[in-house]
Amino acid sequence: MRETRLFSPFRLRDVTFRNRIAISPMQVYMAGQDGLANDWHLQHLGKFAAGGAGLVFTEGLIIHPLGRSSYGDCGIWSDDHIAPLRRITDLLHAEGAVAGAQLHHAGAKAARRRAWDDFRALDDEDAARGEPPWQPMGVSAARVVAKYHAPRAMSDAEVAAVPGLFADGARRVDAAGFDVAEIHAAHGYLIHSFLSPISNDRTGPYGGDMAGRMRLALEVAEAVRAVWPEGKPLFFRLSCIDGLEGGWSIEDSIRLATELRLRGVDLIDCSSGGIRSTSSIAAAGSPPLGYQVPHAARIRREAGIATMAVGLIIQPEQAEIILQQDDADLIAIGRVVLENPNWPLTAAYRLGSDPDRKTWPKPYGWALRGLDAARSDNAEETGA
């Protein structure tokens, strides 16, 4: 057995992760209009825990109905959402994973069709199918993308109420049994739109200079940390750069991460982009493998806070090198695990951390050991 960083335990506050692999929050648009998690979500997330991940996140759970990206989003705006989510945390825990919940408000990117329908704004055709559009609201009245609805600019009083909505969501995910909460402040959604100088042209308490633009993010962090149990970690997903001239920069992210650490945030989930595109994937184009890792590395070193690297980390060896170089503390994977839910178990086998497949579920490990033996015998016979 070979020792690896990827399969070493990691501890934050009172929570120990069995390894450094996290399943990134991914919107799947499979809830009904009530926002309730269902059997589809149960099997979707449960298989990642059975597949060996140390931490499994839900998709972004919407804190207010008007903050939905689409009618398919899971919600956390009502106590009715707690029981269905509790089924999921019970399963994740039974399979040995830490359960993470992301708290989310889409801001001006609300009232859209689902991803496979091109994120187009809901219209009369959707209304005829029972999914009428609504008026999104955001940092300003500027349209984010041409095909979206024009939002309504939020009043200062409405902005000031947002931290309480995030705190209410945090109370509910705690009641649902989650071990980690994450605040979504990336990809052009509500909090990110206040941070970025590209989108935030407000005056008053939530605009102007950097302190004003950071105010909502810091108030949300404070409100969530105040209600989130002391022993449970709090993550913060950040678009570390806008990637556009005059936009939010890595230096801005380092400053914000430092302030978040002082307010009880434990880890920065380091993504990028999305301020003027339909999604972070669309903004990235065709980037190289691990293209966001340098953001995680700089924030970890210069802000003195743990980080999670994400973005085209697809090979176990690649993930191990990131950790060996101390560029991040956790590795988040997304699309690659949709293709192979057993990616963590496969990685442990490939890296030599589990050469006998003892960490696989017993029905799988027993059968695959036989397959490994057959492969070895056939290789010897053919001289391969």
Whether 349 is catalytic is: no
SS3 call for 275: coil
Residue with tokens 């994400």: 310
To the nearest 10°, report the CA torsion of 324, 235, 256, 320: 10
Mean pLDDT of 279-304: 87
**What's residue 281's pLDDT?**
59
Q: Give whole-number Cα distances, 129 to 70, 120, 121, 136, in Å.
A: 14, 15, 14, 20
Sorted by where each starts, the structural domains of the chain and their CATH numbers stand as: 10-353 (3.20.20.70)
pLDDT tens sequence across 52-91: 999 999 999 999 999 999 999 999 999 999 999 999 999 9
At residue 285, the pLDDT reads 66
Mean pLDDT of 213-227: 98
Position 365 scores a pLDDT of 96
Q: What is the maximal distance between C-alpha atoms in the chain?
A: 76
Contacts of 378 (CB under 8 A, 6+ apart): 384
- Alpha-carbon dihedral angle through residues 4, 10, 16, 20, given to the nearest 10 degrees: -60
How many whole angstroms separate alpha carbon 124 and alpha carbon 128?
6
pLDDT digits (tens, 9 = 90+) for 117-129: 999 999 999 999 9
Task: With beta carbons less than 8 A apart as the criterion, state whether 151 and 73 touch.
Answer: no
The pLDDT, as a whole number, for residue 1 is 82
Q: Evaluate if residue 380 carries a pLDDT over 90.
A: no
**Choice among 206-210, 244-248, 280-284 with the minimum mean pLDDT:** 280-284
DSSP state of 86: H
pLDDT band at 286 (very low <50, low <70, confident <90, very high): confident
SS3 assignment, position 129: coil
Rounded percentage of the chain residues whose pLDDT exceeds 70 = 97
Rounded Cα gap, residues 348 and 101, in angstroms: 25
pLDDT of residue 378: 80
- pLDDT at 138 > cutoff 70: yes
- pTM, two decimals, is 0.96
Other Cβ atoms less than 10 A from the Cβ of 329: the count is: 22
The one-letter code for the residue type at 87 is R
Q: How confident is the model at residue 377 (pLDDT cuts 50, 70, 90)?
A: confident
Average pLDDT over residues 324-346: 98
pLDDT of residue 381: 62
Q: Is the pLDDT of residue 283 over 60?
A: no
- Give exposure, 73-86, as e/b (b: 16+ Cβ within 10 Å): bbbbbeeebbebbb
Q: How far is CA 178 from CA 44, 91, 133, 222, 328, in A?
A: 17, 11, 32, 19, 23
Q: Which of 29, 71, 148, 189 is catalytic?
A: 189
Give residue 282's pLDDT band: very low, low, confident or very high (50, 70, 90): low
Q: CA 315 to CA 145: how far, in whole Å?
A: 34
Whether the predicted pLDDT of 279 surpasses 80: no
pLDDT digits (tens, 9 = 90+) for 150-188: 999 999 999 999 999 999 999 999 999 999 999 999 999
Is the predicted pLDDT of residue 278 greater than 80, yes or no? Answer: no
CA distance 193 to 138: 8
Q: Residue 374 — pLDDT band, cuts 50, 70, 90?
A: very high
Q: What is the DSSP letter of 24?
A: P
| pLDDT of 84 | 98
Average pLDDT over residues 207-225: 98
